[in-house]
Amino acid sequence: MNNSKDADDISHWWRTSIIDMAPGKIEFRGHPIQDLIGNVSFPQMIWLMVKGNLPSESEAKLFECALVAGVDHGPQAPSIAAARMAATCGLGLNNVMATGVNMLGDVHGGAGEQCAELYIDIAARIDSGESLIDAVRSGLDAWRAEYGKIVSGFGHRFHKPVDPRAPRLMALVRETAEAGTVSGRFADIGEAVQEELGVQRGNRPIAMNIDGATAVIFCELGFPAPLSRGLFCLSRSVGVLAHGWEQMQQGGRNKGPMPPRFLPKYEATQEQ
Amino acid sequence: MNNSKDADDISHWWRTSIIDMAPGKIEFRGHPIQDLIGNVSFPQMIWLMVKGNLPSESEAKLFECALVAGVDHGPQAPSIAAARMAATCGLGLNNVMATGVNMLGDVHGGAGEQCAELYIDIAARIDSGESLIDAVRSGLDAWRAEYGKIVSGFGHRFHKPVDPRAPRLMALVRETAEAGTVSGRFADIGEAVQEELGVQRGNRPIAMNIDGATAVIFCELGFPAPLSRGLFCLSRSVGVLAHGWEQMQQGGRNKGPMPPRFLPKYEATQEQ
Amino acid sequence: MNNSKDADDISHWWRTSIIDMAPGKIEFRGHPIQDLIGNVSFPQMIWLMVKGNLPSESEAKLFECALVAGVDHGPQAPSIAAARMAATCGLGLNNVMATGVNMLGDVHGGAGEQCAELYIDIAARIDSGESLIDAVRSGLDAWRAEYGKIVSGFGHRFHKPVDPRAPRLMALVRETAEAGTVSGRFADIGEAVQEELGVQRGNRPIAMNIDGATAVIFCELGFPAPLSRGLFCLSRSVGVLAHGWEQMQQGGRNKGPMPPRFLPKYEATQEQ
Amino acid sequence: MNNSKDADDISHWWRTSIIDMAPGKIEFRGHPIQDLIGNVSFPQMIWLMVKGNLPSESEAKLFECALVAGVDHGPQAPSIAAARMAATCGLGLNNVMATGVNMLGDVHGGAGEQCAELYIDIAARIDSGESLIDAVRSGLDAWRAEYGKIVSGFGHRFHKPVDPRAPRLMALVRETAEAGTVSGRFADIGEAVQEELGVQRGNRPIAMNIDGATAVIFCELGFPAPLSRGLFCLSRSVGVLAHGWEQMQQGGRNKGPMPPRFLPKYEATQEQ
């Protein structure tokens, strides 16, 4: 390859620590691809790519639980509905998947990220000497000043009283902590937040939802907050793909949100 | 829930065999989510969602190899470059991932699908009584009549003479076939196509690339051709996420394809 | 700027005839931007950018009619529904618009392109000596061999018997042809196709729809077939924006395709 | 149509004031489409769709200037580069356009929105009794507390000392204000912000850029701040389409950000 200043600048513009390539050579984070294929699990590969090191098997096992838990929540989720509609518009599965994933914005995909921010902030407050309960209260105050009253990761408009994914995930975090793989401190923090929220609602318990539980896992495993969103998107991509493919097999052309015989209601305004 | 004709029609419009929900209940293909979390691997979950049944561990193991193999091919791939640029434009990781995955169209993401179509067609020709070599030749003719001269799944503009992922994957297919998990017929077909292509180029061998090898795996495991594209998109989403996240940490605003001091070359035309 | 071979190669990799830039200078197709602003209409600017020259005012006027006609078809269109749902997911208007436009694939956005291909092919057959009716018949045969029985640009599943946009557009094409701005040959071709389709359906007339009519306009004005898709996407972007914005003002979070009290119907399969 | 409670709920879920449809009938904001086609300009149609009323011709003329000004800034813009790369990946123009527009996030497409927020806030401060200069100073303080030091709409990393679009647009705003079509108050505010920023930089003048100038126009015309982003996306869609189409004609497959002979620089980290 050329070594001019220009060539160096160009190469450096696209510098990466993820992949090293030459003809016949592909290495990820220093590991030749042929050594990874067949030897590491898909979750381990995801971890290696995103975080830079290979996790132990027990770390990967807990990580995998979070990936399994978030794959889908059905066609009432806008991301899934949009993907299914896209599948009837003559698009490839790549475009179908992109359509669905694109919609996992602050309101949905961002919930895990925002919840992880809260947990990490509370942990920092504890490290600075606050008690757990004080850190939870001051962390919640600070978080709400930025994001508003409703705390991401808790409560569910549909799954009442309990989101079946959260208690299962939390039990697995506790098992993994007992085995010494993770510390369990974010499980403590998550449950303390849950309890405090219940108290603040006049002692009406509130459930932890999937975002609250997977954020505990991703924090226990050392992932920065934005990756709670990214990893959720990866997980939900599975459901997007499954639904897009199912819709392709069901057929349909230009599928709208409701059967064609229904029409949107027109509401005249005075602006006309 | 309401049982009017209208309500039934609406529900039916969004019918699915993937997920069954009620408050507190999430079941995928008949399996409660809490039974899946911690008990099935992420590749098994992907398979369940997309294909409808739970694979055996050895099936899942081969499936996983294909998912691991395709995660990334670096920033020279347009999907990765676009994702990294998107990460500097003030988008969330969901939008970054969508931007990258959207670009895995017919030319890239579609290669595995087209290659799987070829393999499946050759298999059907064999089932109709043709010999392997005849089926390969007539299959190639038919395929080229639709898609053109260059056969997807073989050759690589960068990895010469060998794409390091393909031989490793093929060795694992052979191992899995010996263990009786898969039949090995698509491995035979893939290698026969590869050999025939070499003969047709005047006895200059051509390498199988990652699309050719993963298509063998997905066909061995019974996935329809379009899922070779969909599953590749899922795999490549990992690299898109990893690169988008790395770029976010490197920083930058409105990152273009080359350092700002370079300008695109303007070529005046006569149309003005 | 640097003039090394590397720098030249880089600049050439991104060569363009559309825009010429230097600090303080932006020229499109040879026209300084400050001369265009305030002096050319938005449709003229679109034409200049896409086609390379500035249209006359009467050309731009007809062009504008096609852009106005296609802006929206309401929330039953999957692109509009998806954009509205996206607007409740915490995305910016750019992501909302991308979500909608992405869905204008072969089935919807591609209809105009496919119809233009038919018209242009028929025109070529006439240029080769066939009569209009023979060219229409052979053109339809060839088109159907590639795209199937249903001819894009004709018939409408909702607007029966008439799509109100098409006759208005065709009248304007005829006016423009009488004024000598366009030839009117594609209007002839479009109407001959429409008539032949009616005959082939057992003398049951079929309406021309918006795709059939705008394809006539884009062909009259010399746009290649794929731009019938591209220009439609530009036009429909207006509706996508308007609906996304209206939804943002209506509010809602994670808006699904139907009110939350309705659930998709779960259909168990035997695969489980 | 059905009038059950369910049917009403469904229709109401997708209520809109933009479009009223029945077979053979399409009306936008109360205007039949056939009356709009050929009678309103494309900018008037955009305004009608987004804002709800028909603008006067002089309002539409100023509006049009902003739409013309923002169409493109060349392949060094990530949105344009991504669209051009997408065009070589086997995607339709709809997907190409979506890829480009999706990237117009907070850093790029959001600049106009943020600048409009600043202007509107300053106007509100003036309405509350502050002087122009006090309102500018306190408005800038409040804005920076939310968005950081660099004020959107001013300065340009490439166009130094002057962005050629801004002075032309501002001159047209002043002309339009003199004619009584707009008040000119946002032109005053924009220029006062520009001057104050120069003072704050130690009396080094700073240029207004296209976002600063188009935000003036959109504010003068009464558009809410988020539409400065949306309308910019509409305008830039033109350049995205033009570049995607030019790239399709140039050809290429899987075009990366730089010629294939250059490779990204691999930087090993210690994490491995």
CB contact under 8 A, D18 and C98: no
Q: For residues B94 and D252, give the distance between their C-alpha atoms in angstroms, rounded to a whole number.
A: 28
Q: Map residue B154 onto helix, strand or coil.
A: strand
Partners of D19 in beta bridges? D28
Tens digit of each residue's pLDDT (9 = 90 or more) over C2-49 = 469 999 999 999 999 999 999 999 999 999 999 999 999 999 999 999
Please provide residue D19's backbone torsions phi and psi, each rounded to the nearest 5 degrees.
Answer: -135, 140
Partners of C25 in beta bridges? C22
Q: CA A201 → CA A137, A142, A195, A205, C208, distances in Å? A: 14, 18, 10, 8, 60
Question: Which helix (DSSP H) or strand (DSSP E) does residue B20 occupy?
Answer: strand B19-22
CB contact under 8 A, C242 and D50: yes
State the DSSP string of D235-250: HHHHHHHHHHHHHHHH
Q: For residues A113 and A192, give the distance between their C-alpha atoms in angstroms, rounded to a whole number.
A: 18
Q: What sections of chain A are H helices per DSSP? A: 5-13, 33-36, 42-51, 57-69, 78-86, 93-102, 109-127, 132-147, 165-178, 185-200, 210-220, 225-250
Partners of B27 in beta bridges? B20, B32
CB contact under 8 A, A19 and D266: yes
Closest in C74, C81, C254 to A77, CB measured? C254
- CA triple A252-C72-D21, angle to 5 deg: 80
Interface test with C, best of A93, A103, A147 (most C CBs within 10 A): A103
| Chain B neighbors of A98, CB-CB under 8 A | 98-99, 101-102
The token pair at D84 is 């051009």
Q: Is the pLDDT of residue A155 over 80?
A: yes
Identify the CA nearest to C190 among candidates C171, C175, C204, C203: C171
Q: What sections of D150-268 are H helices per DSSP? A: 165-178, 185-200, 210-220, 225-250
What CA dihedral angle connects D126, D132, D134 and D135, to 10 degrees? 40
Q: For residues A215 and A194, give the distance between their C-alpha atoms in angstroms, rounded to a whole number.
A: 13
Closest in D22, D52, D264 to A16, CB measured? D264
CB B53 within 8 A of CB B223: no
pLDDT tens, position by position, for chain C (272 residues)?
Answer: 446 999 999 999 999 999 999 999 999 999 999 999 999 999 999 999 999 999 999 999 999 999 999 999 999 999 999 999 999 999 999 999 999 999 999 998 899 999 999 999 999 999 999 999 999 999 999 999 999 999 999 998 898 889 999 999 999 999 999 999 999 999 999 999 999 999 999 999 999 999 999 999 999 999 999 999 999 999 999 999 999 999 999 999 999 999 999 999 999 986 54
Percent of chain A with pLDDT over 90: 94
Closest in C26, C41, C110 to D64, CB measured? C41
State the DSSP string of D4-28: SHHHHHHHHHT-BSSEEEETTEEEE
Chain D nearest CA to B157, separation (Å): 9
| Chain C neighbors of A152, CB-CB under 8 A | none
Partners of B31 in beta bridges? B28
Show Cβ contacts of residue C35 under 8 Å, excluding neighbours closer than 6 positions: none
Interface test with B, best of D3, D107, D255 (most B CBs within 10 A): D107
The token pair at A245 is 């493919």
CB contact under 8 A, B272 and C30: yes
CB contact under 8 A, B72 and A18: yes
**Average pLDDT rounded to a whole number, residues A144-165:** 93
**Given this model, what pLDDT does residue D109 score?**
87
The DSSP call for residue D265 is P
Residue A190 CA from chain centroid, whole number:
16
Please provide residue B8's backbone torsions phi and psi, each rounded to the nearest 5 degrees.
Answer: -65, -45
Cβ–Cβ contacts within 10 Å for residue A201, how many?
11
pLDDT tens, position by position, for chain B (272 residues)?
Answer: 446 999 999 999 999 999 999 999 999 999 999 999 999 999 999 999 999 999 999 999 999 999 999 999 999 999 999 999 999 999 999 999 999 999 999 998 899 999 999 999 999 999 999 999 999 999 999 999 999 999 999 998 898 889 999 999 999 999 999 999 999 999 999 999 999 999 999 999 999 999 999 999 999 999 999 999 999 999 999 999 999 999 999 999 999 999 999 999 999 986 54
Query: Which subunits count as partners of chain A given 3+ CB pairs below 8 Å?
Result: B, C, D
Q: For residues B3 and B202, give the distance between their C-alpha atoms in angstroms, rounded to a whole number.
A: 68
CB contact under 8 A, D241 and C259: no
CB contact under 8 A, C1 and B263: yes
Q: CA B249 → CA A57, A140, B245, distances in Å? A: 27, 27, 6
CB contact under 8 A, C89 and A103: yes
Cβ–Cβ contacts within 10 Å for residue C218, how many?
27
Q: For residues B114 and B109, give the distance between their C-alpha atoms in angstroms, rounded to a whole number.
A: 9
Cβ–Cβ contacts within 10 Å for residue C198, how many?
15
Closest in B16, B51, B265 to C264, CB measured? B16
**Given this model, what pLDDT does residue A272 score?**
42
| Chain C neighbors of D81, CB-CB under 8 A | 14
| Chain A neighbors of C6, CB-CB under 8 A | 2, 4, 6-7, 10
Q: Map residue C19 onto helix, strand or coil.
A: strand
Residue ranges in chain D whose pLDDT is less than 50: 1-2, 272
Q: For residues C220 and C162, give the distance between their C-alpha atoms in angstroms, rounded to a whole number.
A: 23
Chain D nearest CA to C14, separation (Å): 7
Tens digit of each residue's pLDDT (9 = 90 or more) over A202-231 = 999 999 999 999 999 999 999 999 999 999
The helix-helix angle for B185-200 and B109-127 (nearest 10°) equals 100
The structure tokens 């852009």 sit at C67
Q: How far apart are the first and last CA of chain A?
A: 64
Name residue C18's amino acid.
Answer: I
CB B244 within 8 A of CB B93: yes
What is the predicted ipTM? Answer: 0.97
Q: For residues C92 and C248, give the distance between their C-alpha atoms in angstroms, rounded to a whole number.
A: 10
Please provide residue D65's backbone torsions phi and psi, each rounded to the nearest 5 degrees.
Answer: -60, -40
Interface test with A, best of D94, D95, D262 (most A CBs within 10 A): D262
The token pair at A157 is 């408009």
Q: For residues A253 and B246, give the distance between their C-alpha atoms in angstroms, rounded to a whole number.
A: 39
**Given this model, what pLDDT does residue C160 score?**
87
Q: Map residue B25 onto helix, strand or coil.
A: strand
CB A30 within 8 A of CB A7: no
Q: In what order do the strands lie in the sheet with D31-32?
A: D19-22, D25-28, D31-32
Closest in D16, D102, D257 to A264, CB measured? D16
The token pair at D169 is 């647009």
**Given this model, what pLDDT does residue B271 score?**
52
Cβ–Cβ contacts within 10 Å for residue C8, how many?
15
Query: Which subunits count as partners of chain D given 3+ CB pairs below 8 Å?
Result: A, B, C
**Given this model, what pLDDT does residue C161 score?**
87
Which residues of chain D approach chain A closer than 8 Å at the C-beta?
1-2, 7-8, 10-12, 14-17, 19-22, 29-31, 51-53, 91, 95, 102, 257-258, 261-269, 271-272
Cβ–Cβ contacts within 10 Å for residue D199, how many?
14
CB contact under 8 A, B98 and A98: yes
The token pair at B65 is 């190899």
Handedness of CA A6, A8, A14, A19 (dihedral sign): positive
Query: Which subunits count as partners of chain B given 3+ CB pairs below 8 Å?
Result: A, C, D
**pLDDT-derived band of residue A250, with 50, 70 and 90 as boundaries?**
very high
**Given this model, what pLDDT does residue B1 score?**
44
**Given this model, what pLDDT does residue A1 score?**
44
Whether cis (ω within 30° of 0) applies to the bond prior to A78 is: no
